Structures are given as C-alpha cells and as structure tokens.
Structure 1
C-alpha cells in the first residue's frame, strides 16, 4: 500500500496544539540523541520508539534525503527495529513523524565503518597515501636501509576509534656458527592518529646469508576490524665509522693528557682502540669491543689518558664497524701547550688614572694557572708596585683589573703567570699618560673573580705598545719625571699667578 510522504514543512492549524511526539532512536544498540553523531559497523540495527498525544499518521525514515522505510501506525505509540543498509562513510539520518496536528523531524548523523584501519608510513619507509593525487600505495616486500636505529612513524586512517597497534620485529642472524634470533613486541593502546616508536635493527650478514629484519604492524579498531602490514628490512653498512676529538685536558697531577673522543657508526661499532704512535703503525689498546650485532653501540665515547713526559707525542684513535671498515684519527698530544696560558690585555680598560697611577686590565685563559701577579716597572726594570691577583688551586681562566703606582710615563706593566709545571709566563705593556680619570676607591680585595665591568666608569688612556720598554738614561728620566710632577701638582697656582700677571700688566697699560 502506497503511503503519501509528508512534507517536512506541512503544518495543520488547530485551535488547541498538543505536545510534540517523543522520538527515541537507537543505532547499533546505542541511543542516538537528536543532533548527535555515531560511528557504527556494517549495516547497523535501527530501533524506533515513538509516542504521541494524537494518533501517528505517517513515519518516514530517510538516509541522505532518500526514503528507506515508511510506516502508517494510526496509533499513539510505535516501536520497530529494522536494518540500516549503509555504505561506508558518513550519512544524514532523518525521522519524519506526522500526527493529526503537526509534523516533527528528528535529525542525526551516522558514520559507518565497514573497513579495517589504514596507515600511511612516514619513516623510515614511505607507503600509504603518498602516491599521485593522494592514491594509496602498498608496502613493498623489502626495503634496504643504511642505518640500524630507525624511528617507525606513521599516521592512522579509520572511520572509528583505533584501539590498538601491535608492532612485532624479528631479527634472524648468525653469531659465530650458531643461528640466533631476537623478537621485539610493542603494544600501543589508544594511539589516536599517529604512532612513533624507535626500533633497533640488525645488519645484514651476506657472508653467511643471514641478518634479516621482519616487521609486522597490526591495527585493530573498536569494531574488531583488523589490518596487518608485513615487510622485510635489510640494513647494509655502506659507510666507515667517524671519530671526533671532543677535548684534550692536561692532568695536573702528572705530565699526562686526557683525551675525550667519540666514535660513531650508522650501523654498529665492533671496536674502538688507541695506538701510541702514527696511523700507519701496528697494534692497539682496545677500549671497547662488541661482536654481538644486536648489542653493538652506535656511538661510543672514550676517555684515555696518555703520558707525555717531554715534548709532543703522536697517538692514533682507531674505530672498526661491524662490516670490518676501519677509521683512524692521528693527533699530536703536547702537555706544555695545554698548560701554557694566554695573557691578553684589555686595551680599552688599561691606561693612566692620574700622574702617579695606572690601571691594567685583561684576561689569563686557556691554561693551567696557579698564580697571577701584576707589577709596574722602572725604565731599568725594577719593580715599583706589585699586586697579587690569584694564588691558590689550579684554574683555567680569570680576569684582572688592577691599579698600581707608576714612577713616570711611559709606564711599564708586566703580568707574571705561573702554570702547574712551575713555569712562569710574562707579558709586558707600555702605557702613555692620558687625561687623568676621576679617582676611585682602590679595591682592597685582590681576587681572581674580579670582573672587567666592575669599574666601567673609569676614564682610561690609550695603550701605546705591547712591546717591552727601552730603558732610558736615569738622569733624563728623573729630570723629566720631576718636571711633569711639579707642573701637575702646582697647575692651579701657576694658572692663578699667570692670570694675575697678565691682569696687572693690562692695568698698568691702561693707566699709562
């Protein structure tokens, strides 16, 4: 019997309006309120329960605007269960109910998930929705990689919630004459939309026809749909190891040098060693060895200490990877160079403060320092004034900013630095007299941690030369120094007398 379909905007006008029908919808066993969305498996069951104050004339079930079921109850209650025949994807569900005095429409969204989840692999292999125009490309049977530590990274695609991802990695290899295998299983629950896990793969063993990595990835959604991916990964070692020298440290307690170095290989290191001698020598002291391919390090830091009693000693660092490729790194080790400090004057902060005082500033660095002193000298090399900047344990870097008495200009300043071997290193600086700076309180504490910026308000003179001063005649020096000192101390009085003399002469001239 054909039933006329009600229009959704059909309206009956009566003097008394009754309440709207109560429409209850269940999809796949789950209540679906109006306006909500639900995801189901294939062709879910649809249950309708409708009650009204007036007899229900027509019920129409529509999917994406197409009528799928139609009922004429002629009753105030209705209950029915049917099957929603849906394609995979998202659909608009509408239930239109007409009573004697009104038409009521219920609307919701149903997404059918009828297929298993998919994955797009992003690293270390590429597959999935990566083809032209976003087409889906399946995994290859075999992939070849050039490193053993990889990040398995992928994006999950599914209409419903993916509840679990299982990654299984099996490596079959030979150790000595014995075949072996290792199994790794990783379970990821509620992975959301992406996964990322680090895997350690084993290298190929072409000599014995072994060394194969089998990889299986299983995805399972909330409706029990399962998809499984399988592939084989081969790791081929094509590059030799790399050796980096990180730093060399002098050992203060003895004439020796500690070396920090790192050996790396993309697949695995079989050994790292040290040879006292050149790269073309023979023999080595092994600092690391590992023949088991599943345990070989990708990176190994070594810290050998080498005795250097006199001069320079050549050593060679040696790294061999699991494929038998060897890298050597020869370097010269010199204890004296490592403990010898660098003395630098800060020319912008070194100069004269007044006619009898100079300031010397700078740094002592890159050495093994036990004592630092600064002194001013006469032209004959005699000490005028001396300050102790540092004295104590061993330090590698310090700054200084010291004020010292000076006999005359140009003034000579000398820095004396003692290293851990007892060797003294010096550097001299010649300072010319400049405009006097505003006097500051002389620091009372001579310490190694006095910063350069602590007296930045001081006006300082220019540095003439870092070369040693040529000694001058003592009579010339005394005469010049005395004259400069007299003029500086009595400049004001001389100015007053000069002004008075000029003024008196002018007065006498006017009177005349």
Structure 2
C-alpha cells in the first residue's frame, strides 16, 4: 500500500516535509506565513528545492493558471524568474512532487498606478475623473489644492504655470513660474498667480518609488473685478497742501494709480506698469502723497483712479476745503478789580501762525493800556498758547487778540468778566458803577457817531507797521487821540472779527 503525503503551506519562506526542503523569495523577501507581499512591478522570484528523492515535478501557478512547469528528475532545484502578475491581488503557488506533494501559496499585491488626485480647488473632481482640459476663473489669485490617493507616500509635487501675457495678438511674452512641495502628506495646497487670459498648468505627483502622475490643463482668467481703493484725507486744511494716503488692491495686477484734480485734469501719477506680467508685488499698492490746494475750493476736488491689467477701472472722489484762517479760542478773560489787571488764557491754532498779540484798551478813552506778544519767533507755528496778565480798567476794558498768519490777519475782541465777589456792595459804589456804565455806553455811542463823521469828512488812517517786516510793535504813545475810521466787522467766538485794513485804536484792524 502506497502512502501519499500532501502538504499545503501558505506564505512559506522555507518548508521541510519528509526530507523535502523548499525555499522561496519574492524580490529578495522571504515569503512569510499569513503576510501579504506588496510589489510595484513584476517581481523577481527565486525557488530552491532539496529532496531525498528525485523531484518528479515542480509547477508555479499564478491565480490558478500554470505559469511554469519543470521536471528536474534530480534531488536539487534552483531557479530564478520574473513573475508577470496582474495589477492588484495575485495568488502565487509553488507545487513540488517527490514521494509526496509540497505546496507553497503566497498572496502578492501588485500596485502599478502612480498617485491619483482628487482636486478640491479651484474646481472639484473625483479620484478617477481627473481635471477638465479647461477651467474658468474670475480671480487672478487661485489656490490649486487636492487630496492625494496612493499606496506610498508622495515625495514631491511640482506645479508649473505658464502664461502668454502679450502685450498684443502679434507679439508674445511668456512668463513661467514653478512651485515645488516636498512631502505633502495626504493633501496639498498651492497659491497660483495668474495673468488675464490663458494659463497653462502642468501638475506632477511623484511617490517614493519614483512613479509620477501628470495632469495637464488650462486655467482661463476672465477678470471683471475693479480694483479696491481705501484712502484717508483731511476734510479741511489750513495750509495750501494736504496729505492723502491709502491702499489700492487688485486680484490680478495693478497697472496704474493716479490722483487727478477734477477742475483742470491735473494728474499726479503714483504707479504705472507697462505690461500684464503677473507680479505678486503689484497686487497691493500703498501711497502717501500731498496735493496742492487753491483758494477757490471748487478747484480742490480730486479723483483717485486705479486700473488693473484687465482694464478694469475704479474711481474715488474726495474734496478738501482750504481754510487758512486761524481758530482763536479764549477760555478765560477775567478782571481783577483790586490789581486792575485782566487775565487772558486760550489758544490760537489751525493756521500757519506768524505772530500773536494781546492788547487791552480803555473803552472810555480808546487808549491802549497794555500789550503783550505771546508769539513772534520769526517763523510759523500751528498753535500758540495764551496765558497773559495785562493792565485793565475794571468795567471799562476790551481785550483784543490779533493774529498774523501766512495769508492774512485776524482780530477778535473780548469783553472781560468782572466777578461779582470783586464788586463793591455799598450804594455809593453801585451808583458810581452805574455812572461808569452809562459813561461807557455814551462813549460807544459817540464813537459810532464819530466813525460816521470820519467817513463823511474823509479822514485818513494813521500808518504804522505790525509784522515780521517791521519792529513787531504798533505805536503806543497814547499822547494823541486815535483817529476813528469806519470798519467792517463780523461775529467770531463771542467777539468781533475786524475785517478791514485800517489802523484803529493804535493797532492794525
């Protein structure tokens, strides 16, 4: 009776049965029990058999089909060969017949595909679908992104963008930009700057075995979005220039930024680019400039214009009022009856100030009692603080603040306060005060009458100097009665602004 021994062993590197030893390797890896072998191309396999009796038959089967068959008729067998496998999973069997049968069965998975990509931006695809040949976008800044699908790690991603930016149909200038990403992991994301028109994209994805998948497609940019303008400017200026600053942004490329005066089309070009070549530095432009102002505020309207490479234009308009006249703010004008002085505090600001004078005048006689000059430095400043004490005649004092600025002169008058606590409370003093008040009113009436009389008689004003070109001090002799001429006034800050050019009460008005 004959005994037949059948031995089946799955995933064996070395098998010994009844004096028969079988060794098998796949791409120099021992086949191991229960493990799957993964290859990326047809593997090299080596089979070695040693038996006590001659080997009658040796077969190699792939997925059930006989791949190779040998009859060694020897106790030794050693052979190397290439296994031609199907993609994905394969079952490889080695069958050895001596006195009995020994079988080695191994699962081998063959991955032949390069990395695949499921795109998520600026378009979407499936894993197997791949991108369309053309993709349309409206912004020059896009993100090419996707998820990577591969059995091995992707070592590098290479994205090449090529565009012909003109400048015309009969001329060509090419711009090429290459982006590289190393070891991206399971996904990738790359910012791309496009030119208006057609942009050719070549994207390559390479895994650790050097296998590369390449996608080729075109991104067509049709930019219809105007540039964005943000700016800051003064609504009013007391100098003949004004600052204008801001930021201009575009999603493709800025080619022109300028400020135009609308009344005469006077242009100040801030940025000018001669071509549409993509440039990341031209996506944003910051400016800080000055514009000249005219006396006629109709001439102080400006238009900021920005244009991009696609010809889209954005305009923003601004107006700046030119007002060189100073702001005089008197915060205190209080009379001290005991010391016969008046304290004046405040500020002169918002002008190119060359000189500030503070005076006190006796309303009964028209004579100047005191004069101080808080500022006369020979140059211009934009703010002067006033804190002065001047001689005064209680109940009969006017305070004048005279300002010389770059383009003219400004005067305001203030009637000082007399605190009630400083007034005499007995009846005689009250009577005297009333008499003084009546006298003052009479003086003001007489002054008005005399002004009218002066206009009729044609009296001339007294000449004098009161500015940086003179000695800086008006006449203050007080020995002669001042000549009173008609003047024009307007209210300002609780006082009167004297507009004429007449010398009155010992000072220019």
TM-score, scaled relative to structure 2:
0.49
Name the larger-Rg structure: 2
TM-score, scaled relative to structure 1:
0.49
